[in-house]
Chain A
Amino acid sequence: MSCDECMEQIFELIEREAVEPESVRAILERCPECRARFEQTKAALERAGELVMEEPPASADAAILRAARERSRRAPPRRRRWLSSTRWAAAAAALLAVGVGVWAIPRAEQVERAGETKDAESEAVAAIERSTDSAPVAEATRTEESRPTGHPGTPRAQKKEALPQSKRASRDAPKPMKTLSDEDGEPAAAADSRRAEAQLAAAPASFEDASGVSAECKRRLAEAERRDAKDDASDMEPEALLATGRCYHELGDVAQARRWLLRAASHPQTKDRAERALARLPPE
C-alpha cells in the first residue's frame, strides 16, 4: 500500500470502515506524513463532536405530541387490531383446519365402517342366497335397492330383517368343523355354499360378538371376510395373512385359522412363523 492509498484510508480507519486496516496501520508506523494526517483527522473528528446541540422549542414539541395523541385516538384500538393481524389470522386458520380435520376423521371412519358393514351384510346375504332358497328375498332386496331411499318398504328394512334371521339360524345350528379338504372334488357352487355354511356354522354368529377377541383382530377378521367374499385375498401382504390366521385362532375358528396360516406359510417371509402357528392349532 502506498502513502497515497494510505491517506485515502485514514479516514475509514478512524471511522472503523477501512478495507485493509492492518496495511494502513503498518504505513502509519513508518510514514511520518501519514501519521500526521491521521492525527489531524482524528482531532477534527473529536472537535466535530463538540458541536453545540440545540434544544428543540418546547412549543413545537407540545404541538407534535398533541397531534400524535389525536391520531392515536383515531387509530383502531390495539385489542381489536391484533385480531386482524396477519399472524393471528394465520393461527386462527390453522386452528380451524385442525378442528375440521379432527371432526372429519371420525366421520370418515364412520362412513368407512358403514361401508364395510354394508359390504359385509351384502356378502352375507349373498352367501345365504347361495346356500338357501332365499333368492327371491335377496332379489327383491336388490331390486328394491335401486329405488330411491325414503320409499316405504325399501331394501334396507327387508335386508335387515333377512340378515338377523340368518344370523339367528347360524347361532342355533350345530357347528361342524369343516376343513378345506372336505371341499375337494365337489362342484363349485355346492362347494361355495358349503364353505359359506361352514363359515357361518363354525364361527360365532359374528366375530364382533365374540368376547376375548381384540379390537385389532376384529378389524382383521372383518377385512379377511370382505376380501374372501370378493376372492381378492391373494394380494394381501404375508404379514396380514399371518395375523389373520392368528386372529382366527384367537377366535376359535381352527379351520379358518389353518386356512389363513397355510396362505401365510406359502410366503418365504412368514413361512417359519406360520408353520409354528399351525403346529399350535388344536386338532380338528
Chain B
Amino acid sequence: MSNPSDERLLCAYCQGDEAAFQSLFERYRRPLFNVVLRSVRDRGRAEEIYQDVWMKVIERCTDFRGDAKFSTWLYTIARHLCIDHQRKMKHRAHLSLEGSQPGAGPGIADRMANPGPSTEALAAGRLIRDPMARALNALPDEQREVFLLRQIQGLGFAEISEIVGVPTNTVKSRMRYALERLQDALREWEEHDEL
C-alpha cells in the first residue's frame, strides 16, 4: 500500500492501527493548525481548538461513515469548534461592554490578542507576509474561512461548500471578494511602504 487514502487510514486506525493515525496526523496537522489559527486569531485558543479537533477525531473515528471525505469531516469539526469559540468571545465581549463585574475576565482588547506572525517569521525579513497576515485578519469571517480552506489546505470549492454549508457559486464569490480585498490591502501597504 504505497499511498493509502485518508479514509483507509482512518478505518485502519479505528481497528487499532496506531501507525495509520500517525500517517493521517502528519498529513493534516500543519494545515489544520494554521486554518484554526487564522480563523480565531488567538494562538492560545487555536492550540486548544487544534487539540480538541484531533481528540474528537480519535474518539469518534467510528462515527465517520465514509460517505464524505475525511478532510470534509475534519474541517467541519474544526469549523464548529471555531464558531463555538467565536460565540463565547462575543458573549464575553457583551458582558464586558455592560460594565466591569466582580470576577469578570479581561476585556476585549486583552482577549483579541494579536495573532500575527511569530517572531521567527518576522525575523525572516519577508515583509510581504506581515501585510498579508494583517490583510487576512481584516477580511470578513465568511470570506476568510473560504480563503483559508482553499489556500492552506487546498480544498476544492465543492468540498468547501459542503463544509461551510453554502452553494459552490457562493464559495467562489467569497473567494473572489477575499482576493480583491487582499489585493487592495496589499496595494495600500505597498504605497504606504513607498512613502
Q: Which residues of A contact B (CB under 8 A)?
A: 11-12, 15, 17, 40-41, 43-45, 47-57, 60-61, 63-65, 67-69, 71-73, 75-78, 81
Interface centre among A43, A54, A69, A81 (most CB of B within 10 A): A54
Residues of B within 8 A of A65 (CB): 21-22, 25
Tell me, rounded to whole Å, the shortest Cβ–Cβ distance linking B91 to chain A. Answer: 25
B residues 90-134 touching A (CB-CB < 8 Å): 117-118, 121, 126, 128-129, 132-133
- The chain B residue with its CB closest to the CB of A73 is B16
Picked from B12, B32, B58, B136, the residue with its CB within 8 Å of the CB of A51 is: B136
Provide the residues of chain A in CB contact with B22, threshold 8 Å. Answer: 65, 68
CA distance A72 to B38 in the complex (A): 31
Interface mask (B156-178 → A, CB under 8 Å = 1, otherwise 0): 01000000000000001001100
Q: Tell me which residues across on chain B come within 8 A of A63, comparing CB atoms.
A: 51
A-B contact pairs, 12 of them (CB 8 A): A44-B180, A44-B182, A48-B179, A50-B129, A51-B133, A54-B118, A61-B29, A65-B22, A65-B25, A72-B13, A73-B16, A78-B16
Beyond the given pairs A41-B179, A72-B18, A75-B14, 6 more chain A to chain B contacts, judged by CB atoms under 8 angstroms and listed by A's residue number, are A51-B152, A52-B118, A52-B126, A56-B32, A56-B33, A65-B25
Partner pick for A50 among B25, B47, B58, B132, CB 8 A cutoff = B132
Shortest C-beta distance, B165 to chain A (Å), equals 20
Set of chain B residues within 8 Å of A15, measured between Cβ atoms:
157, 175
A167 and B46 alpha carbons, distance in the complex (Å): 99
Flag if A57 contacts B128 (CB, 8 Å).
no
* Contact of A54 with B34 in the complex, beta carbons under 8 Å: yes
Asked if B21 contacts A72 (CB within 8 A), the reply is yes
* A53 near B51: Cβ-Cβ < 8 Å: no
Q: Evaluate contact between B15 and A81: CB separation under 8 angstroms.
A: yes
Q: Judge whether B175 and A56 touch: CB under 8 Å.
A: no
Taking CB atoms, residues of chain A closer than 8 Å to B152 are 51, 53
0/1 interface trace, chain B 54-84, chain A, CB 8 Å (1 if under): 1100110000000000000000000000000
Q: How far is the CA of A71 from the CA of B25 in the complex (A)?
A: 15
Cα distance, A78 to B147, chains bound together (Å): 40
Contact of B30 among A44, A45, A56 (CB under 8 A): A56
Asked if B89 CB lies within 8 Å of chain A CBs, one says no
In the bound complex, CA of A282 to CA of B33 (Å): 100
**Out of A12, A49, A69, which one reaches B172, CB within 8 Å?**
A12
Q: With a CB–CB cut-off of 8 A, which chain A residues contact B50? A: 56, 60
A50 to B55, CA, bound (A): 30
- Taking the closest CB of chain A, its distance from the CB of B38, in whole angstroms, is 8
The answer on a CB contact under 8 Å between A60 and B51 is: yes
Closest 4 CB pairs of A and B: A75-B16, A56-B33, A72-B18, A64-B54
> CB-CB < 8 A to B58: which residues of A?
64, 67-68, 71
Residues on B facing A (Cβ under 8 Å) = 12-18, 21-22, 25, 29-34, 37-38, 47, 50-51, 54-55, 58-59, 117-118, 121, 126, 128-129, 132-133, 136, 147, 151-152, 157, 172, 175-176, 179-180, 182-183, 186
Cβ contacts under 8 Å, B51 to chain A: 60, 63-64
Residues of A within 8 A of B121 (CB): 52, 54
Residues in B neighbouring A55, C-beta threshold 8 A: 30, 33
Chain A: minimal CB distance from B130 (Å): 9
Q: Is the CB of A44 within 8 A of B129?
A: no
Given A48-B147, A54-B37, A56-B30: A76 touches B175 (CB 8 Å cut-off): no
Q: Which of A45, A49, A76 contacts B15 (CB 8 A)?
A: A76
Please name the residue on chain A nearest to B182 by beta carbon: A44
Task: Return A39 CB to nearest CB of chain B, in Å.
Answer: 11
- Choose from A49, A52, A56 the contact partner of B133 (Cβ within 8 Å): A52
Identity of the chain A residue whose Cβ is nearest the Cβ of B54 in the assembled complex: A64
Residues of B within 8 A of A47 (CB): 128, 132, 182, 186
Residue of A nearest to B16 (CB): A75
- A52 pairs with B117, CB closer than 8 A: yes
Whether A67 pairs with B30 at a CB distance below 8 angstroms is no
Q: Chain A contacts of B32 at CB under 8 A?
A: 56
Contacts of B136 in A (CB 8 A): 51
**Residue on A with the closest CB to B177?**
A11
- Docked complex Cα distance between A49 and B121 (Å): 15
